Amino acid sequence: MLSQINSPADLAALSHEDLIELSAEIRGLLIEKVSKTGGHLGPNLGVVELTVAIHRVFESPKDVIVFDTGHQSYVHKMLTGRGGAFDTLRQRGGISGYPNRRESEHDVIENSHASTALSWGDGISRGFSLQGAKDRHVVVVVGDGALTGGMSWEALNNIAPEQKRNLVIVVNDNERSYSPTIGGVATYLSTLRVTSGYEKFLDWGKEVLHKTPVVGMPIYETLHGMKKGIKDIVAPQGMFEDLGLKYLGPIDGHDIAAMERALQQAKEYGAPILVHAITEKGKGHKPAVADEAEKFHAVGVIDPESGEPLAKSGTSWTKVFAQELVEIGKTRTDIVAITAAMLGPTGLDQFQAAYPERTIDVGIAEQHAVTSAAGLAFTGLHPVVAVYSTFLNRAFDQLLLDVALHKAGVTFVLDRSGVTGDDGPSHHGIWDLALTGIVPTMHVAAPRDGARLKELLREAVSINDAPSMVRFPKGAVQEDIPAFERRDGIDVLYRGESADVLMISVGAMAAIAVEAASSAYREGVGVTVIDPRWVKPLPESLVRMAERYKSVVVLEDGIRHAGIGSAISEMFRDAGVLIPLHSIGVPLEFIEHSKRGEILSDIGITAQNISRSVVEWSSTLKEEMQLPSDENADRKQPR
């Protein structure tokens, strides 16, 4: 049946029975396809009927439908003509795991970071209203923990009741984000789920009245007189209504007919309105709703029946970090772990299991996490804030002015730094080195392997008067790369026989750097590879070391613009050292989803390409040095 759905308009002709059959087919297709490609399985299994109902009532793309977080949009993609493309989900040249304007007119925003859609919805609906587009609606599906983010509440505070505009907010309440949603908002929604209890309470009063009239009458009158108080306790939708939002619900989000009725009411209301839908994350797939449902929020390649991973990988960087932090916690009782709704993905679930009282999950609220960490540091504790690199972007102001300015001893551990791959442009961790490079007093470490990750993590948490950061990439940790020697904290990984090129490798780029140096040696170019371990502040001995070489190459997996190569170049200029420097890194552009290896190859970060470039640069430099003095004087200094 899904193959006959080329646009949401095709849903109109389907009967209720057809819609139930279609929902089952969509759910089966999700399990089949996402098991092969990887992706966000649990969230999408939970919004099948909800999404069908939305597309039956509203007219996309005339009506704008946005999802928060965007990983809930797979069913939306299927209903907007992309059902046949799910073999390419998150693959090179295929469809994205998030809404994407380049894919379809039905996608308006690429929102892989949570808690943004209500602000988009506020702006779009205001725009329609100001321009007299009274027949256009905006539907914001918000859930999967997105209401724990402060930006959502900033938006709700500004969606005023007196503004007659067509804005429908659908709260997809599945009690979870990655893991069970926590905090005051989650508790509030939990209370809302029992709205029907109020009517049952009054029904009980009526039964008492009929059975024992003398005693029952005052009981019922008391109950009826306490109507407002009871309703505020059992169904406190008043908070939303106080913010200017009419409230409908709770409604079974898996009942298409019930959802259609509620959404039709909301559509006709003509002012901001909230529809509260109760759904089950992972519905229809037993492994995804089991005790370990968190694992099915986002999956790799798995067995579609059992949910067990099929692709075996080595020990991950995340696991090495997780185990070492637990070990540090045994002797450092001042260590406190903080995350933003990602205990499992960042490895802090292990620390929580060992030290539950010293583990804090703030929900999807990175800004709050960082400033709260500054407060913890003020009391003498040492917080370790573990997030994906891409999510540190959201808390830069707090890092700069709440942590660094106040000399707070907070350690940031950034998972998935550099090029990450499948999740697309917003998830690459390519900005962290440039961002933290402009933070005064910041200490930044980039381990090249598991042994250095353990070592540098311990060094980082020993810094108590300034922020520190340890960053590592996604995936399996590579084999340890021992150093020939350590000079002033700098590890020498490969020593060329001639002083042609000094290659400064940042973090996990070490294996590529060593391989490139070995290849260049076979072409007659001597390359020495070093790992500074700490890339901020840079070791002063780098200047003395570089002066012995004809040129310097910096290899990093962050953006070249304002990255480590830029910082080293500035360091050399300040020291009066004029030496050719080549920076190899990520170009300043948004990079679409693809495998990490494919992307690195695209941008030239492979051992073969780097080796060839180093040989060419060395050859050019030798030719320039052999020019007559008058010609040489006219040539520009190499970069």
Task: Give catalytic residues, as residue numbers.
Answer: 281, 366, 394
From CA 164, how far away is CA 240, in angstroms rounded? 17
Q: Are 490 and 542 in contact (CB under 8 A)?
A: yes
Query: Of 452, 432, 474, which is closest to residue 562 (Cα–Cα)?
Result: 432
**16 annotated ligand binder:** no
- Tokens at residue 233, please? 């306790």
- Tokens at residue 274, please? 């909230």
**369 annotated ligand binder:** no
Strand duo 468-471 + 443-445: pairing: parallel
What are the start-end ranges of the E strands in 118-264? 138-143, 167-173, 246-252
**145 annotated ligand binder:** yes
**224 annotated ligand binder:** no
From CA 213, how far away is CA 210, in angstroms rounded? 6
**455 annotated ligand binder:** no
- Tokens at residue 517, please? 């140096």
What's the per-residue H, E or C state across 518-564? HHHHHCCCCEEEEECCEEECCCCHHHHHHCCCCEEEEEEEEECCCCH
**268 annotated ligand binder:** no
**71 annotated ligand binder:** yes
Rounded to the nearest angstrom, the gap between the alpha carbon of residue 581 and the centroid of all alpha carbons in its chain is 34
**374 annotated ligand binder:** no
User: 388: alpha, beta or left, given left = phi > 0 and alpha = psi -120 to 50?
Assistant: beta
Sign of CA dihedral 55, 58, 60, 65: negative
**106 annotated ligand binder:** no
**285 annotated ligand binder:** yes
From CA 537, how far away is CA 516, in angstroms rounded? 26
Q: Are 186 and 174 in contact (CB under 8 A)?
A: no
Query: Of 610, 562, 559, 529, which is closest to residue 418 (Cα–Cα)?
Result: 559
Q: Are 408 and 381 in contact (CB under 8 A)?
A: no
Which residues, including other chains, have CB under 8 Å from residue 100's CB and lie 6 or more apart?
107, 110, 424
Which residues, including other chains, have CB under 8 Å from residue 532's CB and lie 6 or more apart?
489, 490, 491, 504, 506, 538, 539, 542
Element (H, E) at 350: helix 348-354
Q: Are 377 and 383 in contact (CB under 8 A)?
A: yes
Element (H, E) at 231: helix 227-234
**Other Cβ atoms closer than 10 A to 330:** 10
Query: Of 423, 437, 472, which is closest to residue 591 (Cα–Cα)?
Result: 423
Which residues, listed in sequence order, are joined to residue 359 by a DSSP beta bridge?
337
Residue ranges for the known binding site for Mg(2+) are: 144, 174
Binding residues for thiamine diphosphate: 71, 112-114, 145-146, 174, 285, 366
Would you list which residues are annotated within the binding site? Answer: 71, 112-114, 144-146, 174, 285, 366
